[in-house]
Amino acid sequence: MHELKVTGFGGQGVIRTGMIIGKALSLFGGKHATLTQSFGPEARGSACSAQVVIDEDPILYPYITGIDVLIAMSQEGYSRFRTDLREDGILVYEKELVTTDEPPGRRMYGIPATRIAEDLGVKIAANLVMIGFFSAVTDIVDIEAVRKAVPGTVPSRFLDLNLTALQKGYDYGLELIGRADKVAAGEEAE
């Protein structure tokens, strides 16, 4: 079982991120997934989160009891939920919006998702960049399952752009993991 929390502020696509991950896992990944969400009274700009429970077996309790993976897209979300991240958990974060304060040895991966999306011409696609990155660095959900889950969850006129954003995040994650593997093997990282 994996318990995932996506956090950020309204307008970043936090809830949609949880929806796409859950859809990818349950419809195209052979897993069971549940989604619960929380957001403030003001949708855009307020703190929000999505919780996804993932398991091989049917899920009897749809709420998380601890966090295996925290995807933090805002400082406020990171600060609020970082203490719920399990010791062996993984932190995936927007490295230009979140300053981390994690103990040595924590598995954590940062990406400038918003900047990458802005470079594509649409800042709102940062969540798709983050999903691609999450797929690359965690191996929880296969990128092909995510690609299949995106249609129907984003406006069709922006489908190609969102799939490009997804791929950019995935490629960034693969590159980051490749550098980490070189360092771990004692090779010089570029």
Q: What is the residue extent of each domain of the chain?
A: 2-184
Summary count for the chain: helices (H), strands (E): 6, 6
For residue 67, pLDDT beyond 70 = yes
CATH number belonging to domain 2-184:
3.40.920.10
Per-residue pLDDT for 45 more than 80? no
DSSP 3-state of 183 = helix
Residue 188 has pLDDT above 50, yes or no: no
pTM for the full model? Answer: 0.90
Q: Which of 124, 120, 103 is nearest to 17 (CA)?
A: 124
Percent of the chain residues topping a pLDDT of 90: 76
More confident residue, 94 or 139: 94
Predicted local distance difference test score (pLDDT) of residue 43:
53
Identify the pLDDT of residue 130.
98
Question: Pairing mode, if any, of strands 2-9 and 85-94?
Answer: unpaired
Spatial contact of 93 and 110, defined as CB atoms under 8 Å apart: yes
- 11: three-class secondary structure by DSSP: coil
Instruction: Please say whether the beta carbons of 136 and 155 come within 8 A.
Output: no
Contact 62, 36 (CB under 8 A): yes
What average pLDDT does the structure give for the chain?
A: 90
d(Cα 1, Cα 34) in Å, to the nearest integer? 12
pLDDT of 190: 41
Residues 6+ positions from 172 with CB-CB distance below 8 Å? 111, 116, 129, 132, 133, 136
The stretch 70-92 carries a mean pLDDT of: 94
